[in-house]
Amino acid sequence: MPEKYTPGYSSNATNFMANRTVDSHAVFFLPYLRPGMKLLDCGCGPGTITLGLARAIAPGTVTGIDQEASQICIAAENTLKQAIANANFRQANIYDLPFANESFDAVFSHALFEHLQEPAKALQEIFRVLKPEGVIGLRSPDWSGFLIAPSTPELDQAMSYYKWLQQQNGGNLEVGRELRALLRQAGFINIKASASYQCYEPLSLAAEYLALQIEVAVNVPQGVEKEAYDVKLMSNALREWSQHPDGFFAQTWCEVVGHKG
């Protein structure tokens, strides 16, 4: 089955990603960045993290790539709004990067590897475009570490359904814990792994995102019987959870940094 990007490109999905910044999602990579570096951000989406990386390496240049043209347009608009001069964006696929060998001092990728069917192939490309001694930083969730309370059968069904959708689309829900191994197998050295939690506050930020995702069920593969799932029951469960006085959602993020020898 061909790989599909589960969240899709609705305003719900794009706005959800656009809440992210370097300070909220990429602090682990900052110690490895230096002014003047040339950095590539793979799967940049709306570019809100990318623009923070641009500030960190100025007067160096950040290039953000994404397979989806609409995300490149939004990232370019955000660049203009924030008056950032050292960031550029182009449409490209991580499996076939349009850059010469040894072009970048650093490569970053946030929340992409959980959607990839062929992570080793993507890392081969990143390895190719990194300069010797270049640094790579990856961050992806690991769904088995998520903390959710209070649990109800309906909420469990909603979470299971979304997980199932992502798996059907070729994603790997537990890639977070595998990032270290993937880097080592790709030839990177001096690997450091870490993990952190994102606690959604207010909870509605995540619950409403997931409810809308389930309602539109983006990229449901052909032949899947969506009717087998009670969409209304699941989206209601998510919305009730978001209003629950004890509602809690902490998402596990795994991070790795490695070097090209």
Q: Which long-range contacts (CB under 8 A, 24 or more apart) does 159-164 make?
A: 159/210, 161/214, 161/229, 161/234, 162/210, 162/213, 162/214
Give phi and psi for 166, each to the nearest 5.
Answer: -65, -35
Nearest distance from residue 21's CB to ligand SAM, in Å?
Answer: 9
How far are the Cα atoms of 53, 61, 67, 184 from residue 85, in angstroms, in the given order?
Answer: 12, 9, 23, 35
Main-chain phi, psi angles of 47, to 5 degrees: 85, 10
Q: Does 68 bind ligand SAM (CB under 6 A)?
A: yes
Residue from 12, 63, 71, 213 binding ligand SAM (CB under 6 A)? 71
Q: How far is the CB of 143 from ligand SAM (least distance, A)?
A: 14
The pair of three-digit structure tokens given for residue 48, joined into one six-digit string: 């809100």
CB of 232: closest distance to ligand SAM in angstroms?
26
| Chosen residue from 33, 49, 155, 214 binding ligand SAM by CB under 6 A | 49
- Minimum CB separation of residue 96 from ligand SAM in Å reads 9
**Position 74 contacts ligand SAM (CB under 6 A):** no
Closer to ligand SAM by CB, 5 or 162: give it: 5
Site size toward ligand SAM, by CB under 6 A: 19
Question: Which one among 33, 40, 45, 175 touches ligand SAM, defined by CB under 6 A?
Answer: 45
On the question of a cis peptide bond just before residue 2, with omega within 30 degrees of 0, the verdict is no
43 binds ligand SAM (CB under 6 A): yes
Nearer to ligand SAM, 16 or 247 (CB): 16
Backbone angles phi, psi at 137, to 5 degrees: -130, 125
- 90-119 binders of ligand SAM (CB under 6 A): 93-95, 110-112, 115
Q: Give least dist CB 166 to ligand SAM, A.
A: 11
CB 153 within 8 A of CB 161: no
Q: Which of 22, 39, 44, 56 binds ligand SAM (CB under 6 A)?
A: 44
Site string for ligand SAM, 115-144 (x = CB under 6 A): x-----------------------------
Smallest distance, ligand SAM to C-beta of residue 94, A: 4
Taking the mean position of all CA atoms in its chain, how far away is CA 234? 24
Q: What distances in angstroms separate CA 199 from CA 8, 16, 84, one per listed residue?
A: 23, 14, 29
As measured in angstroms, the least distance from the Cβ of 95 to ligand SAM is: 6
Pick out residues in 3-22 that bind ligand SAM (CB under 6 A).
5, 7, 17, 20
Q: Which residues bind ligand SAM (CB under 6 A)?
A: 5, 7, 17, 20, 43-45, 49, 66-68, 71, 93-95, 110-112, 115
